[in-house]
């Protein structure tokens, strides 16, 4: 069964973190989840550390920054997470590194954090904290560009699970089916077959597509056999990110679930599309 015992909620006090906190509250309500609220105080910027501060002045700067962060954590918890089973943690260092370390230390069930979309080439950039966490954590990561906009109904009613039929498929299918059961949500499972080079001849082409979709559907049915629920199964063709996000919009999905490879930080066959899916999805995405 899906475990949601501990949610790690890293925050930098932006408005998008407030949206993440709302989802943490939702998970806590349905699963009595413990929320670990984390802020990582980055090291003193180089331009300050390299200036000719006296030792006392630099110490005072560090103390003041820490005090300010503690106050912000307290205010954030009071505003968004009052009444929750909550642990508040302040760490120092590189944010992505500390988030991943903390997730593994507390055996987090999931890391819940926002991200941003910065244009068509965002999927190739690993500079943001969220991208680094996605790349390095051995923990499911719940994130998305449009998390704030998706909060109107405050519940997950429809989950879209994208299966690539690679090594991670069993784990992804198990997470999605268990999540749908725990959340009382409808589940749709999709596999996208990228369009290969077309072979001339409309009849043959159409017949080939039908056969491929039948084979994919049979594989998905086998994968889902014995798992809870009765998910809808879709076999589509086209660009994976476009098709998955298109179905998410058409079916008004509240959550998209995708997979990562079995090795830490390495996406499965969807690795070329994972960041694009996260950026373009109309709802949050869990990468498992």
**What DSSP designation does 231 have?**
-
pLDDT at 127: 45
pLDDT at 77: 97
pLDDT at 151: 56
pLDDT of 95 above 70? yes
Q: What angle do CA 281, 283, 288 make, to 5 degrees?
A: 80
pTM: 0.85
pLDDT at 104: 96
Mean pLDDT of the chain: 83
pLDDT at 212: 85
Distance CA 25, CA 76 (A): 13
**Sorting pLDDT into bands at 50, 70 and 90, what band is 125?**
very low
Look at residue 77 and give its three-state secondary structure. helix
- Tell me if 203 sits within 8 A of 176, measured CB to CB: no
Look at residue 111 and give its three-state secondary structure. strand
pLDDT at 278: 87
Mean pLDDT, residues 262-266 taken together:
41
Percent of the chain with pLDDT over 70: 78
DSSP string, 74-111: HHHHHHH-TTS-EEEEEEES-HHHHHHHHHHHTT-SEE
Task: Characterize the bridge pairing of strands 285-287 and 141-143.
Answer: antiparallel
67-89 per-position pLDDT tens digit: 999 999 999 999 999 999 999 99
217-234 per-position pLDDT tens digit: 999 999 999 998 899 999
pLDDT of 122 above 90? no
Distance CA 228, CA 211 (A): 27
pLDDT of 274 above 90? no
**Sorting pLDDT into bands at 50, 70 and 90, what band is 61?**
confident
188-214 per-position pLDDT tens digit: 999 998 864 454 555 545 567 788 889
SS3 content of the chain, % helix, strand, coil (to 5): 45, 20, 35
148-191 per-position pLDDT tens digit: 665 555 689 999 999 999 888 999 999 999 999 999 999 999 99
| Domains of the chain, each with CATH number or no CATH | 1-144 (3.40.50.620), 155-288 (3.40.50.620)
């Amino acid at each position: 069964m899906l475990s949601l015992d501990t949610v790690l909620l890293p925050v930098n006090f932006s408005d998008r973190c407030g949206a993440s906190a709302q989802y943490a509250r939702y998970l806590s309500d349905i699963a009595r989840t413990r929320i670990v609220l984390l802020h990582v105080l980055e090291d003193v910027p180089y331009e300050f550390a390299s200036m000719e501060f006296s030792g006392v002045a630099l110490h005072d700067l560090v103390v003041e920054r820490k005090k300010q962060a503690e106050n912000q954590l307290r205010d954030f918890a009071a505003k968004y997470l009052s009444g929750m089973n909550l642990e508040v943690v302040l760490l120092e260092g590189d944010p992505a590194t500390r988030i991943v370390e903390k997730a593994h230390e507390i055996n987090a069930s999931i890391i819940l954090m926002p991200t941003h979309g910065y244009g068509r080439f965002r999927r190739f950039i690993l500079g943001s904290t969220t991208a680094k966490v996605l790349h390095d954590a051995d923990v499911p990561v719940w994130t998305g560009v449009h998390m704030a906009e998706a909060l109107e109904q405050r519940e997950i009613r429809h989950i879209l699970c994208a299966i690539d039929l690679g090594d991670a498929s069993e784990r992804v299918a198990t997470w999605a089916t268990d999540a749908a059961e725990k959340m009382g949500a409808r589940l749709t499972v999709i596999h996208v077959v990228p369009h290969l080079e077309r072979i001339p001849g409309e009849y043959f082409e159409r017949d080939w597509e039908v056969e491929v979709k039948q084979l994919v559907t049979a594989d998905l049915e086998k994968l889902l056999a014995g798992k809870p629920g009765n998910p809808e199964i879709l076999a589509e063709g086209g660009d994976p990110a476009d098709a998955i996000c298109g179905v998410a919009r058409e079916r008004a999905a509240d959550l998209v679930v995708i997979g990562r490879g079995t090795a830490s930080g390495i996406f499965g066959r969807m690795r070329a599309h994972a960041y694009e899916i996260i950026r373009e999805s109309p709802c949050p995405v869990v990468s498992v």
